[in-house]
Structure 1
Amino acid sequence: MRLRNYRLQVSVKLPRSNYTHPFSTSRASHNYDATLKNLKIGRHTRVIFQGFTGKQATANAKESLEWGTDIVGGVTPGREGEHLGLPVLPTVRKAVEVLKPDATGIYVSAHQATAAIVEAIEAEVPLIVAVAEHIPLHDLLRVINFFSCIHAILKTQSVSRLIGANSPGIISAVGRCRIGFQPLPCFEPGIIGIVARSGTLSYERAAASTLRSGLGQSMCLGVGGDIVPGTTLTDGLKILAEDADTEGIALVGEIGGNAELEAADWIKQYRATTKTPNIWRPIVALVAGVNAVPGRIMGHAGAFTLPGEPTAPAKIEALKSAGATIINHPSRFGSVLKTMLAGAMPTGGGIASPRTASQGRGMHTLARRPRSTNNTTTAAFSPQTQKRNISLTQTTTLDLLREHGIAITDPEAPASGPQRFLAISINRSSRSPCIVVSTTSDTSTSQVFDFDYNKGAADLPLSSIATALGLDSLCLPSITHLLTELTTLFAEKEAYLLSTLLTINNPAQPIISISSAHLHLDDAALHSSGRQSEIHSLRNLSLEDPAELSVEKYGIAYIKLPDPNANIGTLVNGAGLAMNTVDALADAGGKAANFLDTGGKATSETVKRAFEVILRDSRVKCIFVNIFGGLTLGDMIARGIVMTFEDLHMSVPVVVRIRGTNEDEGRRIIAESRLPLFAFDDFDEAAAKATELANGAA
């Protein structure tokens, strides 16, 4: 997006030593919960826009005003006057004084978004919606700490609630209030509440499905795909469960973090404490990423699995055990919820009923999900495969550690004793950096220790970490030095994961050394804010897949899937939808050869580049295009597919599923092309045809 400059007087480069209040899960989150009520938007909600006079904000505001949103003005730094017939003020504080808003939508570019969030917090705007993608992770970590410092750990004021970043926003269809970029044709007043991590799966697929089923929506909350979102799935469930307009709930999760497990725990508590089962809202859930490549980021900034985090199947099992009905494709949300609201239990392909024997809206006897000894479900983790576009090789990482005075064991030398796992990472639940440790190289027995971003190693329980590593007090000096340097490197280089394997030399006078290490960097720090160019220049492109690199510059996320027998290329707009397409194809008997996300707004150009990279894979015998026309027009995509097919002289058949805006026209264009293109409305029919063509059936 091209957005107008948003320059603020607030600095977001907060020195690590400036602030001392830790973001305590038990204290800060308890007070932050008091801001949940701010999510209840509607006709009463007075909205301002930050970056109001910019192109993106202007277009969005016009649509929202026509739809009925009460936009009362906006902010453009250094300007005063009018825009769209509404007041423009130079600061958020001034806008709060004059316009008295209930919410602000932040429509500025990623490198300016953190400053805009901080200004809104300082001005005590009740609801802050940040839609920008690619905000640097460490900027958001600073905001989380800044949250706790501005409001004395939110103990006394508890004023501001943040949605995002990387969120499609929040929309009340009943109250005609939109703060975000959701495509309005997908929303009509109704009875289904939606809370989702994926934008395309929520505002397009889930909303469209409930609309087609005649249910409509009450409210849709997109928590966003970042690593540390300001609002969680559980927060959304809490609001929807007590919302008078909501009779059923659609929940959309994905890989990465524990948000879905926390949601499952809340669902159990909700049903246990709600004495009248008849008033339980039926909850239907989908989790994308069952077939994600371990250790790879699947489009969204937060769509990957860190050490100690659960897999997608583990999340599905937890939600199912809690009483949620599981579906494998968002097109099923409407029909399944409609069946459940009618008092029946849904059946059929792609539907997994909750682990209960009861029918209708109430789910009774709930099965308990087993927990591991450290109260966390774990996933296999391979530091060699972890990748967020910018990952440094082991050799480069070890050289950096040597510069920090850390002892290194020759990686090629045989291990002299047991290796222990130690990583600096992010605890998404507490929104803070953490230390992950295990007495072995297996992370399934890991323990997690949070620390204050601004204090670094000074805030760590060193003795407890040593014990968790299976080390005695003799190792404390070495542990102290090691963690001081690792946390410093983690913050200085704006990493999201620094994983190591430790060895102990000379037990009598122990020195901890590192035999293996991998540093994974937040690419947004470079691409959005122009920082860390020196460290990012160490990226070794010769070790990466040329096909994946070839489309990176076009904003296309492409990952080749490893199954040698895979034969269906996939082309999808939206990361969550792309993950789910791979999963649903597998359930239908197909084998996807790749994950490909063109971005939320596919164009003719990105479609062409996507076809080119898919066709470089000799395994591909058919291409499955799954496009939702919300922000993207279905007829435009159809024309792009026809032109690309002809330009590239393609012989591989293409199955096209276009839904949403101008879907009928899109399918007509495909049908009249006289090319080996096959247009479908229904996902199951499209998946069956793609599988048939890929396997060479007549």
Structure 2
Amino acid sequence: MLPRPSLPLRPCRSPRSLPRLSGTSQPTTLPRRAFSATGPSQDYASTLKNLRIGKHTRVMFQGFTGKLATANAAESIAWGTNVVGGVTPGRTGEHLGLPLLPTVQDAVERLRPDVTGIYVAAHQDVPGAVEEAVAAEVPLVVAVAEHIPLHDMLRVHAMLKTQSRSRLVGANSPGVISATGRCRVGFQPLPCFAPGKIGVAAKSGTLSYECVASTTRAGLGQSLCIGVGGDILPGTDLREALMVLAEEEDTEGIALIGEIGGWGEMEAAQWIKEYNARTANPKPIVGLIGGVHAAPGRVMGHAGAFTVLGEPDARANIAALEAAGVTMVNHPSKIGDALKARLAEHTKTTSGGQPSSPFKSGVQQRGIHTAVRRARTTQPRSPQHQQKRHLYIREDQAFDLLRQYGVTAAEYSGKGTRRFLAISIDRSTRSPCIVASPTTEPDLAVSQTKRFPFDYNRGLDGLQANRIAEHLKLGPRTGDSLRKVLGSLAAIFYDKEAFLLETRVVERLGEVKIVNARFGFDDAAHRTANRQADIHALRDPAAEDPAEVEAERDAIVLIRLGSSDDRSCSIGTVVNGAGLAMNTLDALADAGGRAANFLDTGGKATSETVKKSFELVLRDERVRVIFVNIFGGLTRGDMIARGVVLAFEELRPRVPVVVRIRGTNEAEGQRIIAESGLPIYAFDDFEEAAAKAIELSGQ
């Protein structure tokens, strides 16, 4: 056994000792929780039924007396949600006229909740709140906070697998909502929702809100909407959400919204293919994938919106879903009409009629549903870009770290076959894994890459090391050397809270030598939990794009696209929400335009955030027009409009501005812009706005 080293995640809790990897420091501690026993026929998968919330679902809040939870609970109660009380540690009494308890266990015994919404900020120990809810056997746990340290979530998932009573949604999730049952657990903007027949499974909050508004305008309404969230390791994934919606009685059609990152969309496509094959009258599904034009190697706003070697890109996901019978669209505003058409064809088919174009055997054809047919390829990650959601250190720093852990590393001399060896995250198993390929040739590496997941608490074992050596095609004398390399990489992974430790190795005289290294570490561990200061002190902001660094200070995600001399990248974008920002790049490209940047103001943008975004975008001399694309969910359209007017008046931009506002308070937002007297082009339709932006950009 290659034992798992310790990680001092939360030393304030009762510890248990853990084994350590040979050659590492003394083990420290991790907290222990008691969980319900899981029988041989039941496991975490058996908790999927807990997602079916509705009219009689009893909802409680953790962090009940906080400002955010208070406002959300009051709004949900007014809408009709059966909120029964909540928890704030150490406090007892009433809040909003409902019971307030000091612990989740107390709340479970008195309130008998079916679901808990965790409204605890990331820095206030969200993993601990999840653990407390699972220990108390709350059936459904919804965590809405983002920026949760990755290794904390790895530990949570290792524990979730040991029980069969509680289901997690999130973290970084907009939540779960039943429009038919008027039950909301999350941040969803209620004005968008109407009781109806469409189920939604989505990674992105803003894209799901616009999808919901689209189905409402189409007269379809919604049944159950599951926001799985954009985290690296969601408690519920897209495939699992589809499994629930396929069996949900009020659901007649399904909207699926995915994005780059992991194998979730591919697994969903495979499940849909099997579902369509075994079901007499399968529910029609319309899909959207964000990230076709994502910057290679960058994290596109959401913590999980990136790909590593061997993972499919957006085009491959789209192709797989199309092949499974999903109708794909390129913008969420089209989902309502596409589902309406699919449901009409579905009705004809089930009543004995013949389906007609544009749907043949359920496979998407060119028509209102497809703007562009994309190439069906899977692309390896480009190594020259760095992901800003995580910290990457220089190769010489990675070599120094390896030497501290007893491994010799040196630059490649040109001798010997390089092989790919890494520790990363297997999103399908929600656990760490070894990633290995016997070649580093770009054309072969993807197809020959294999993953070897291992339990977060137990670590690697010798049998796995043998299988890895066999896959790498290493000689029989390299066993001990490979185990040493794997042990040291694992020690760094745990001790420093890495998310990716990527190396290239060669075999020399029976030894495995590291000749390249690219190490990435989770920045949430430092920013949220104040851990790993030594690693994060290695960051050199002077080597990064100054505008991107400045944006980060204002909680804005900015990524420059294209080279500085590529004048075709001329549309500056300002968008609220990472999913919508990715989709904006894609839809602009489909219409013939090219964006100069990805900019996510955040799902809760303010007037000041919009003004700052204008400042950052205008520093790019390539920009010939600013395109503001806002869907008002949590962000109100009138607030954004005031921000645009403020930015225009104070900054006097040298380029024209096109604004598209839909969603919450959209009419008021459009009125503010129309009455401002400023030369701003305002639209509510995306395609009209995009066409105007492209025209003004000169493309």
- Decide: shared fold, TM above 0.5: yes
Unmatched segments (≥5 aa) in structure 1? 1-7, 347-356, 368-375
**Secondary structure of 2:43's match?**
helix
The separation in 2 between residues aligned to 1:27 and 1:334, in whole angstroms, is 43
Deviations 1:488-518 (A, max 9, x none): 1011111110101112223xxx221111111
- Measured in 1, the distance between the counterparts of 2:13 and 2:186 equals 25
Match of 1:421 in 2: 420
| 8 Å CA contact retained: 2:345, 2:355 | no
After superposition, the C-alpha distances for 1:607-663 in whole angstroms (9 at most, x for unaligned) are: 111111111111100010001112111112111111111211212101000001111
* 1:146 is the counterpart of 2:159: yes
Q: Give the aligned partner of residue 328 of structure 1.
A: 330
**Paired residues for 1:49-128 under 5 Å:** 49-111=61-123, 112-128=125-141
- For 1:657 and 1:162, locate their aligned partners in 2 and report how far apart those are by CA, in whole Å: 35
1:386 Cα offset (Å) = 3.6
Q: How far apart are the structure 2 equivalents of 1:573 and 1:366? A: 32
Q: What is the match of residue 527 of structure 2?
A: 527
**Letter of the structure 1 residue corresponding to residue 205 of structure 2:** G
Q: Which whole-Å deviations, capped at 9, do the CAs of 1:416-447 have from their partners, x for residues lacking one?
A: 11111111000000001000011111431111
Contact 1:14 1:142 in 2 (8 A): no
Question: What percent of counterpart residues are identical?
Answer: 58
Post-superposition CA distance 1:516-569 (Å, at most 9, x none): 111111111111111111110001222211110011011000000115121000
Q: CA distance change for structure 1 residues 345 and 384 in 2, over 3 Å: closer, same or farther?
A: farther
1:144-178 deviation digits (Å, cap 9, x = unpaired): 11223xxxx33xxx110000000000000000000
Q: In the aligned structure 2, how far is the partner of 1:400 from the partner of 1:29?
A: 45
The answer to whether the Cα contact below 8 Å between 1:47 and 1:105 also exists between their aligned partners in 2 is yes
- CA shift for structure 1 position 305: 0.2
* Contact 1:390 1:522 (8 Å CA) reproduced: yes
**8 A Cα contact 1:225 1:301, kept in partner:** yes
Q: Note closer, same or farther for the CA distance 1:624–1:135 as it changes in structure 2 (3 Å cut).
A: same
Q: Is the 8 A contact 1:228 1:428 kept in 2?
A: yes
SS at match of 1:253: strand
**In structure 1, what residue type is equivalent to 2:326?**
A
Matched residue, 1:677: 680
Distance (whole Å) between structure 2 residues aligned to residue 240 and residue 475 of structure 1: 50
How far off its partner does 1:674 sit?
Answer: 2.7
Separation in structure 2 between the aligned mates of residue 487 and residue 20 of structure 1, nearest angstrom: 21
Gaps of 5+ in 2: 1-9, 20-29, 349-353, 365-375
Distance 2:505 2:74 in 1: 57
- Partner secondary structure for residue 245 of structure 1: coil
How far is 1:19 from its partner?
9.9
Whether the 8 Å CA contact 1:383–1:499 is kept in 2: the answer is no
* Structure 1 residue 415: Cα displacement: 1.4
1:576: which partner in 2? 579
The residue number in structure 1 matching 2:618 is 615
Q: Distance in 2 between matches of 1:35 and 1:12?
A: 28
| Residues 1:325 and 1:665: Cα distance change in structure 2 (over 3 Å) | same
Is residue 597 from structure 1 mapped to residue 586 from structure 2 by the alignment?
no
Partner SS state of residue 611, structure 1:
helix
Q: Which deviations, in whole Å up to 9, do the C-alpha atoms of 1:374-413 show, x marking residues without a partner?
A: xx995312344241341111111111111111111235xx
- Asked whether 1:199 is paired with 2:200, we answer no
2:394 paired with 1:393: yes
CA contact 1:282–1:362 (8 Å) conserved in 2: no
- The 3 A distance-change label for structure 1 pair 475 and 201 is same
CA-atom RMSD in angstroms: 2.4
How much has 1:458 moved relative to structure 2? 3.4
Q: Which amino acid aligns with 2:674?
A: A
Residues 43, 365 of structure 1: alpha-carbon distance in 2 compared, 3 angstrom cutoff: closer
Partners of 1:528 and 1:28 lie apart in 2 by 38
Structure 1 SS opposite 2:198? strand
1:361–1:125 CA distance, 2 compared to 1 (3 A): farther
Deviations 1:326-371 (A, max 9, x none): 000000011111112122899xxxxxxxxxx95499974879xxxx
The 5 A counterparts of 1:438-477 are: 438-442=437-441, 443-444=445-446, 445-458=448-461, 461-477=464-480
Q: What is the TM-score when the length of structure 2 is the normalising length?
A: 0.90
Distance 1:394 1:52, change over 3 A: same
Instruction: State the SS of the aligned residue for 2:48.
Output: helix
CA contact (8 A) 1:16 1:453 kept: no
The 1:206–1:40 alpha-carbon spacing in structure 2 relative to 1, beyond 3 Å, is same
> Per the alignment, do residues 468 and 377 of structure 1 end up closer, same or farther by CA in structure 2, a change over 3 Å counting?
farther
Partner of 2:256: 251
Aligned residue type for 1:321: A
Q: Please report how far the alpha carbon of residue 12 of structure 1 lies from its aligned counterpart in structure 2 after TM superposition.
A: 8.8
Please tell me whether the aligned partners of residues 284 and 337 of structure 1 are also in contact (alpha carbons under 8 angstroms). yes
Secondary structure of 2:460's counterpart equals helix
**Which residue is equivalent to 2:652?**
649
- Aligned partners of 1:512, 1:28: CA distance in 2, in Å? 41
What amino acid maps onto 2:286 in structure 1?
A: V
Describe the shift of the 1:345–1:623 C-alpha distance in structure 2 as closer, same or farther (beyond 3 A).
farther
Is the partner of 1:225 in helix, strand or coil?
A: coil
Offset, 1:670: 1.6
Q: Deviation at 1:472?
A: 2.1
Aligned-partner SS, 1:592: coil
- Give the distance between the partners of 2:41 and 2:451, measured in 1 at CA: 18
Residue of structure 2 in register with 1:319 after alignment: 321
Contact 1:570 1:624 in 2 (8 A): yes
Give yes or no for contact 2:44–2:160 (8 Å, CA) kept in 1: no
Cα distance in 2, alignment partners of residues 459 and 314 from structure 1: 35
Give the partner amino acid of 2:138: V
Q: Structure 1 length normalisation: TM-score? A: 0.90
Letter in 1 for 2:487: T
Structure 1 residues 142 and 16, CA gap change in structure 2 (3 angstroms) = farther
Alignment match, 2:168: 162
Matches within 5 A, 1:656-695: 656-695=659-698
What residue number does 2:234 align with?
Answer: 229
Give the match's secondary structure for 2:588: helix
C-alpha spacing 1:9/1:400, structure 2 compared with 1 (3 Å): closer
**CA separation in 2, counterparts of 1:53 and 1:253?**
34
Instruction: Provide closer, same or farther for how the CA distance between residues 29 and 527 of structure 1 changes in structure 2, counting only shifts above 3 A.
Output: farther
Q: Matched residues in 2 for 1:462 and 1:435: separation?
A: 9
Report the secondary structure of 1:128's partner residue: strand
Judge conservation of contact 1:106–1:131 (CA < 8 Å) in 2.
yes
For 2:604, give the aligned amino acid. Answer: K
> CA contact under 8 A between 2:14 and 2:32: conserved in structure 1?
no
User: CA 1:161–1:206 in structure 2 vs 1: closer, same or farther (change >3 Å)?
Assistant: same
Deviation at 1:590, TM superposition (A): 0.7
Matched residues in 2 for 1:381 and 1:541: separation?
23
User: Does the C-alpha gap of structure 1 residues 484 and 56 become closer, same or farther in structure 2, counting only changes over 3 Å?
Assistant: same
Cα distance change on mapping 1:58 and 1:363 into 2, 3 Å = farther
**CA–CA distance in 1 between the matches of 2:135 and 2:62?**
14
Q: Match of 2:694, SS?
A: helix
Amino acid at match of 1:295: G
**Structure 2 residue identity aligned to 1:304:** F
2:184 matches 1:172: no
The residue number in structure 2 matching 1:500 is 503
Amino acid at match of 1:99: L
Q: Cα–Cα, structure 1 residues 642 and 99, in superposed 2: closer, same or farther, change >3 Å?
A: same
Deviates more, 1:318-327 or 1:436-445: 436-445
Match of 1:291 in 2: 293
Relative to 1, partners in 2 of residues 1:639 and 1:553: Cα closer, same or farther, differing over 3 Å? same
Output the CA distance in 2 between the equivalents of 1:78 and 1:19.
21
Structure 2 residue identity aligned to 1:118? E
CA gap of 1:429–1:570, structure 2 versus 1, over 3 A, is same
SS of residue matched to 1:513: strand
Letter paired with 1:191: K
- Counterpart of 1:134 in structure 2 is 147
Shift of the 127–631 alpha-carbon distance from structure 1 to 2, 3 Å rule, reads same
**Hey, what's the Cα distance between the residues in 2 that align with 1:168 and 1:11?**
29
